[in-house]
Structures are given as structure tokens and as C-alpha cells.
Structure 1
């Protein structure tokens, strides 16, 4: 039974898969990202350079893109997938291109997701596929439906098609023995997403967790929503799949709430978010016989907590009901240490043409500057490993 906390300062294990040259690139990226003003200026300058067609794509690819993305296409990601797999870290391929917001664009995103399923089915290192409903249907219509506004017959049909796209992808993934994560998005259409996710679970999670809904614990109502979802799953006789994250739209949520004059759905302090996140882990582990969980976290304390809960319940590190997940290029000290100890670990591996994943990359940079100490922590670990290698 585990009693000693896991040592997440083990940089030799964390960066065994990285060359010193790659670490120096990471050192540059995180030192830049730790300065919010540099991120803002860099974002504006890069957008301007691309607009006037300056040759900056190569610079972006060698820095931000190589740090946080697996490649420009599914095939391009093969090297990253193998590298991670060689160190017992699984891959979750994430097509991070924000497509056209029309029916053709949504169908193109669906077809790309189906290609990911086909590829994943031939690769032992890809247990999950991931879907973002905003890429498969109109968020304006989802928002309208959630707010109980009257929909026209055409609008109802479009939302039906959006759900059918999800169903087509999940059906194929399920038949291949894969699992599907449905990402969380903004609160004003999240309940619509939840409805789709639970209908998919009711259909496909009868024998095992196939579909995982995402719970953003920075929302003050989310722990209760998770508990209600678990009760409903038991009543309706399916397994609940839960991906637990802290959240990714904090500023946007608060700004909209203030602008529209309603109470913000976001917790007031990070301490309360951390408390709810850890409570959600305890709740899920209490009901693990009827659940599958993925702890999407860059938090060392929460990672240690889940490992301890597994040990307390005498659950094997390799139990396939429980995964840890982090983003590619971040928290390697957590991912590779846990993988080295035999836990199920997966990295989100975004991909897409460089110029088309820039919105994702800029958002990632901005999030890193807003997460207290995240860039600083990454920077310190990389610096420590470079120093260790130099003195070895």
C-alpha cells in the first residue's frame, strides 16, 4: 500500500525521452511564456506576420508547435506516438483545427474524427479518441436549445445532424474497442453537450465505459452535477465515464457573466477549485465499480491523491478503469513518472497544419501564463535537468 508521496521532482525519468537540444527549446518556450507581456506581444506580432505573409511558419514550428503538437497530420504524429509509447505513455490524438462553422465544415471534422478512429484501431498506444461538439455542430443553436428558446424545424434538424455525427464516431470507436472523450466547453451550451454525452453513454456504455463526459471542477455546481450523473447512470443501467479537469474557460466565463448580468458559474478561489477536484476523485473512486475515470490534471497533489486512493482500495496501477492524462509538452514530470510506475497515462497530442492550430497554441500560451506558477514550474524542471546532464 502506497504511503510515501510520489517524487515528481525526478527529472531524469521525466525527460528521458527528450534530447538536450529539445530541452533547450523547451527552456526558451517556458521562459517566454512565464512573462504575460511577451505572450501578448508575440501573439499580436505572429498574427500580423502571417497576415502580411512573412516567412514565420518555420520559427513557430520549431518553438511553440514542436513543444505542444505532435505533427501536422495523423501520419505526422506517428513518431511522437511511438516515442511516448516506448515510455509506456499512451496518446489521445486531438485534431486542434477550428473548422468552418457550417454543415460542410462540421462534416469535414466528422470525417477527420473517423480517420483518427481508423488509425487508432491499428495502434496499441491510442486508447481514446476525443470529440469537441463545437466542431460538429452550431454552438449558437446549442446555446439557443439550452436556453429553451423556440427552434425552427430547420434548426432542430441541424442539431439532430450534429448528434448523429457524434453517434457515427462513437459507434465506430466502440466497435474497434476504443473509448471516446467528449470535451467540456462553455457553460452556456454545456448542458446541451451533457445531454448528448449521456444519450451516447446510455447507448454504448452498457458493458464498459466507452463514452466519457468532461467535468470542469472550476464550476461551483460541477461536483453536484457529477454526483447526479452517477446516480442517473446507475438508475438507467450504464457505466458513467468521467474525465475530471479543473477547467479552461475561466476568464471568458467571468467576462460573459459580468457583461450579461448573471452570477458567474466559476468558483471565486483556486483553493475551492482544488478542493472540489480532489472531492470528485474521492467520489469517483468510491463508485469505481460502475465507472471509468480519467484524471486530466497537471496538479501533483491531485495525482498523488488518486494514486493513494488506488492503493487504499488495493486497485492495480494498470487497472483500465483509471487513467491519468496531461497535455503534450507539459507536466512530463507527472506523466512519465506515473508511467514508469505502471499507471495508465495518456498525453493529449494536438495536431493540424501549423497555421491552422495557431488559435490553439496561443490559447495554450495564454492559459500557461494565467495558471499560477505553471510555466515557472515547467521552466525550473527543464533547467534542473539540463544542469543535471551537464554535471553527469
Structure 2
């Protein structure tokens, strides 16, 4: 894993190599030619599997996914966040089902999304998470999100069925954040699910996504915290910086990275300690919260850990990084747990940390657009990936020295 991560971060840390890689990946992801589809071209599949797929994805079928999940837990991770990789069709792309009645097509899209989501829950193990993207249910879902409507009854039933199965299996649900124009409605749908499922104090089943690069994020989160307190449910908070920098309206975003970092870290401190502060202003009793720090920023991770290790955390704390990325951060967190079990009580110097890896599953072809989206989301993080690369070299040398000392 370290060697493949090193190769990936070396490419990511070079603007020229990354630009070339993105062009090739974009070409393959959008090609309609069978010879350029890895699900039909065995040589291309072999190359992509060994260069990209195995680095970022969980597997093509139940057996491969089970092996990957067992592997991350064997290393020391608490579990995985599993997502079905196939992206929803682009609204501007040619649709082979255009001849279908719109209602029939909408129901087919929802049914396909529901079946894939249910299978993802079935592939997960108790304690894992599944990630759901509402727009994956097709054009009807997108239209309703855009217009601020409640989900269509068939879509609402499908979402409920997925969440209930997850709840019954001891699997938790992350609702992905999406473009700014859709997010208000996504939040409304998510809160309705949270009211029904987040009934155990201090342990959320349904998590919403909060994007710290938005100027109004703290106002939105403060409102959701108040609603959780008033209506007696636990709020699940997945805190990210944000992934739609190039498509969300610039006036809605913080003016600088420093402002985004301050928003992230100060919000994290408030939620983790359950204390209002100037960044996340509120009044009255703080509600029960579970918070997942979904970040590749080492500074933010260490700040959160320092609060936890000092015994100041009053909310359930979880960490997550993408499979194949920020492995040095993930491994550092896992290393902190290496001499403890989750059942042992946390002490200021010896706190158990729940650490997860986010990974997609599906065929190599189905994963191409997912891989492209992840690459494009992270193309501005050249400085961070240089740090990743240097950290991976350090980790590789440390392991090599350890190996020679034992021989």
C-alpha cells in the first residue's frame, strides 16, 4: 500500500504529471468506444487495476470487497466507508433511454440507485458506513433537490428502505454533500432521516455533510444543532472543507484558504467540546453530536486529536480519509491505537480513535468517473501531496530500517 501510495502522491505532487494524467483519465472516463472501456479491454483493465483501481477502490464483487474490508481492519482501521462507484449520467449526455416514458425512466433510475445502495449496505459489516449521494437516483431527484421539494414518494420510500436496512445491520449512513444549489434541500432531507434514526443519545446513524469553505456553513450548522436539541435527536456531522470549488458560486465561499482552515478548525473545536464559540455561535444547552473529521489536513487532525487526548471531547469522534490518499495521516492515527483495544477506557495520553477509509466499489469501468472526480477534486492540493510524498518516503525509510534491524 505504501509503495502504491508513494507512486500516486509523486504524480499528484507534480503539476505537469498530474495535468497529463487528468487528460488521459478524462479521455478514458468519457470514451464511448469499447476498446477504451476497461470492462471490455483486458489489457487496459490490467494496467488501470494495478495503477489506480487497487489504490482507491474496494473491489468489483462481494468476495473482493469482503477481502478489502477485512484487510483494512487487519491493519488497524475501525472500518470502511463504502460507496457504489457508478456516477449518475450527465444531464447533457446522450441518453439511450430517451425513448422511455419520463415517469418510467425516473422510476428505473431510482430503482437502480436503490438496488445498488442496498447491495452496498449488504456488503458492509457492522460498524462500517455507507455513503449515499441523492443525485445518484437520477434526474427526478436532481430536479426535486434543485426546486427545494420533498422527495417523490417512490424515491422517499427507496431512501427509507436503504437507511432502515443500514440501521438494522449496524451500519451507519453518510449523506454526501453536493453542489451549492442542491445543498439546502439535501440538508432538509437528511434532517428528516436523522429525526427518525438518530434516537440513541450521542451516537448518530445518519450524518449530514458540512462544507467549511462556505461562508454560511456555521450559520447552517448552528441552526441544525438547535433543531437537534429542540427535537431531541443526535446530530451527525461529517465535516469537510469542500469539493466543488470550481463550480460553486465564488461569492458563497470564503475569500482565502486561511479563512476556510479557521472555519474548519474552530467549528471542529466547538462541536467536539460541545461549547459554543465565536465561530459557531449559539446559546443554551449543546445537543448530542457525533462528528466525523473527513479531512486530509494533518494540522486539523492533530488539533482535533489534542482536544480528545486532553480529555476535553464530549462528542463521539471519528476520522476518515479516502482510500489511497493521506495514508501517512491514517496510519499515524491507527498507530496511536496499536497498543489499546476499543473496549479500554480512553485516558488523556491514551485515547482510542475511530479511523475509517472511504472507498468505492464496482467494476473498473464503473469506477472511472469516480476516480476522475476524486482526481479533479484534489488537483489543487499540490502542496499537500508534496507533503504526503515526503511523509511516505519517511515512512518507507522507517520501515526499511526496522526490517534491517530485525534481520
Which category of TM-score, normalised to the shorter sequence, fits these structures? 0.7 to 0.9
Q: CA deviation at 1:48?
A: 4.5
Match of 1:294 in 2: 292
Deviation of 1:360 (Å): 1.5
1:137-174 deviation digits (Å, cap 9, x = unpaired):
4354134423xxxx8xxxx7x63332322211111111
Matched residue, 2:84? 95
Which residue of the partner structure matches residue 118 of structure 1?
Answer: 122
Which TM-score applies when normalising by structure 2?
0.79
Structure 2 spans left out of the alignment, 5+ residues: 37-42, 92-105, 275-285, 338-352
1:33-74 Cα deviation digits (max 9, x unpaired)? 223343333333355465541542221111121211121234
Alignment match, 1:38 = 17
Asked if 1 retains the 8 angstrom alpha-carbon contact of 2:88 and 2:138, the reply is: no
1:284–1:40 distance in 2 versus 1, CA, 3 Å: same
For residues 162 and 222 of structure 1, do their structure 2 counterparts lie closer, same or farther at Cα, with a shift above 3 Å needed?
same
Q: Take 2:169 and 2:146, find their aligned partners in 1: how far apart are those partners?
A: 35
Q: 1:267 aligns with which of 246, 250, 254?
A: 254
Deviation at 1:353?
Answer: 1.0
Q: 8 Å contact 2:175–2:206 — kept in the other structure? A: yes
| Distance in structure 2 (CA, Å) of the matches to 1:250 and 1:291 | 27
Match of 2:135 in 1: 134
- 52-61 or 175-184: bigger deviation: 52-61
Equivalent residue of 1:294, what SS?
Answer: strand
Task: Pick the aligned partner of 1:231 from 226, 231, 237.
Answer: 226
Deviates more, 1:41-50 or 1:175-184: 41-50
1:175 Cα deviation after fit: 2.0
Residue 392 of structure 2 is aligned with which of 352, 357, 382? 382
Number of matched residues? 348
- Structure 1 pair 351–374 and aligned structure 2 pair: CA distance change class (3 A): farther
Offset, 1:351: 1.4
The reply on whether 1:173 has 2:166 as its aligned counterpart is: yes
CA distance 1:24–1:286, shift in 2 (3 Å): closer
Q: Aligned-residue CA RMSD in angstroms?
A: 2.4
| Cα gap change, 1:222 to 1:60, in 2 (>3 Å) | same
Give the Å deviation of 1:289. Answer: 6.2
Cα deviation for residue 219 of structure 1 reads: 0.5
1:340 is aligned to 2:327: no
Give the Å deviation of 1:240. 0.6
Give the deviation of 1:336 after TM superposition: 2.0
How far off its partner does 1:264 sit?
Answer: 2.4
In 1, the alpha carbon distance for the partners of 2:161 and 2:321 equals: 27
Cα deviations across residues 183-242 of structure 1 (Å, max 9, x unaligned)?
A: 110110111100100001111112241111110111110011111100111111111111
The one-character-per-residue Cα deviations of 1:248-275 (angstroms, maximum 9, x if unpaired) are 111111xxx3xxxxx6211111111111
Q: 1:25 and 1:335, CA in 2 relative to 1: closer, same or farther beyond 3 A?
A: closer
Structure possessing the higher relative contact order (Cα contacts under 8 Å, 6 or more residues apart): 1
Shift of the alpha carbon at 1:298?
0.9
The alignment status of 1:215 with 2:210, answered yes or no, reads: yes
SS class of match (2:209): strand
Query: Aligned equivalents of 1:358 and 1:39: distance in 2?
Result: 16
The answer to whether the Cα contact below 8 Å between 1:218 and 1:267 also exists between their aligned partners in 2 is yes
TM-score, length basis structure 1: 0.82
Q: Hey, what's the Cα distance between the residues in 1 that align with 2:362 and 2:252?
A: 32
Check if 1:184 corresponds to 2:202: no
Greater CA deviation, 296-305 or 330-339? 330-339
Residue aligned with 1:86, SS: helix
Q: What does residue 70 of structure 1 align with?
A: 58
- The match for 1:145 among 147, 159, 164 is 147
Change in CA separation of 1:112 and 1:143 when aligned onto 2, cut-off 3 Å: closer
Q: Which moved more, 1:63-72 or 1:212-221?
A: 63-72
Deviation, structure 1 residue 341: 1.8
